[in-house]
Amino acid sequence: MNNMSKLEMLIRAVTSRLERNTWTNGNRSFDVMHVATALHLRVKTFLTFDKKQKELAKMEKLSVPKWKN
Protein backbone atom coordinates (compact mmCIF):
# COMPACT_ATOMS: atom_id res chain seq x y z
CA MET A 1 0.00 0.00 0.00
CA ASN A 2 1.50 3.36 -0.97
CA ASN A 3 1.47 6.55 1.11
CA MET A 4 -1.37 8.09 -0.87
CA SER A 5 -3.59 5.12 -0.08
CA LYS A 6 -2.89 5.55 3.64
CA LEU A 7 -3.61 9.25 3.39
CA GLU A 8 -6.86 8.60 1.54
CA MET A 9 -7.93 6.12 4.23
CA LEU A 10 -7.21 8.71 6.93
CA ILE A 11 -9.17 11.37 5.07
CA ARG A 12 -12.16 9.03 4.76
CA ALA A 13 -12.01 8.25 8.49
CA VAL A 14 -11.84 11.94 9.39
CA THR A 15 -14.63 12.87 6.98
CA SER A 16 -16.92 10.18 8.35
CA ARG A 17 -16.38 11.34 11.93
CA LEU A 18 -16.71 15.02 10.99
CA GLU A 19 -20.13 14.37 9.50
CA ARG A 20 -21.18 12.43 12.58
CA ASN A 21 -19.74 14.63 15.32
CA THR A 22 -19.34 18.24 14.23
CA TRP A 23 -23.01 19.10 13.85
CA THR A 24 -24.63 16.61 16.21
CA ASN A 25 -22.21 16.85 19.15
CA GLY A 26 -20.72 20.30 18.60
CA ASN A 27 -17.15 19.08 18.24
CA ARG A 28 -14.66 21.29 16.44
CA SER A 29 -13.16 19.96 13.24
CA PHE A 30 -9.61 19.87 14.63
CA ASP A 31 -10.79 17.84 17.63
CA VAL A 32 -12.47 15.33 15.33
CA MET A 33 -9.37 15.22 13.13
CA HIS A 34 -7.11 14.49 16.12
CA VAL A 35 -9.35 11.71 17.44
CA ALA A 36 -9.83 10.18 13.98
CA THR A 37 -6.07 10.22 13.42
CA ALA A 38 -5.49 8.52 16.78
CA LEU A 39 -8.02 5.84 15.84
CA HIS A 40 -6.45 5.40 12.41
CA LEU A 41 -3.04 4.94 14.05
CA ARG A 42 -4.59 2.49 16.51
CA VAL A 43 -3.38 4.28 19.62
CA LYS A 44 -4.63 2.94 22.94
CA THR A 45 -4.38 6.09 25.07
CA PHE A 46 -5.39 9.61 24.04
CA LEU A 47 -3.95 12.61 25.90
CA THR A 48 -5.81 15.91 25.98
CA PHE A 49 -6.68 18.80 28.28
CA ASP A 50 -9.71 19.76 26.18
CA LYS A 51 -13.08 18.70 27.65
CA LYS A 52 -14.92 18.30 24.31
CA GLN A 53 -12.03 16.40 22.75
CA LYS A 54 -11.89 14.14 25.81
CA GLU A 55 -15.62 13.37 25.52
CA LEU A 56 -15.25 12.58 21.82
CA ALA A 57 -12.25 10.32 22.41
CA LYS A 58 -14.17 8.42 25.08
CA MET A 59 -17.18 8.09 22.74
CA GLU A 60 -14.81 6.48 20.24
CA LYS A 61 -13.63 4.02 22.94
CA LEU A 62 -10.16 5.51 23.45
CA SER A 63 -8.64 5.46 26.91
CA VAL A 64 -8.24 9.01 28.28
CA PRO A 65 -6.32 9.25 31.57
CA LYS A 66 -7.37 11.71 34.26
CA TRP A 67 -5.01 14.61 34.92
CA LYS A 68 -4.28 15.94 38.38
CA ASN A 69 -4.39 19.72 38.68
Q: How far is CA 40 from CA 5, 37, 67, 69, in A?
A: 13, 5, 24, 30
Q: How far apart are CA 17 and CA 1, in angstroms?
A: 23
pLDDT in tens, 14-23: 777 666 666 6
Model pTM above 0.95: no
Q: How far apart are CA 18 and CA 37, in angstroms?
A: 12
Q: Is 21 exposed, middle or buried (0-12, 13-18, 19+ CB in 10 A)?
A: buried
pLDDT in tens, 16-69: 766 666 666 777 778 888 888 888 888 989 999 888 899 889 988 899 998 776
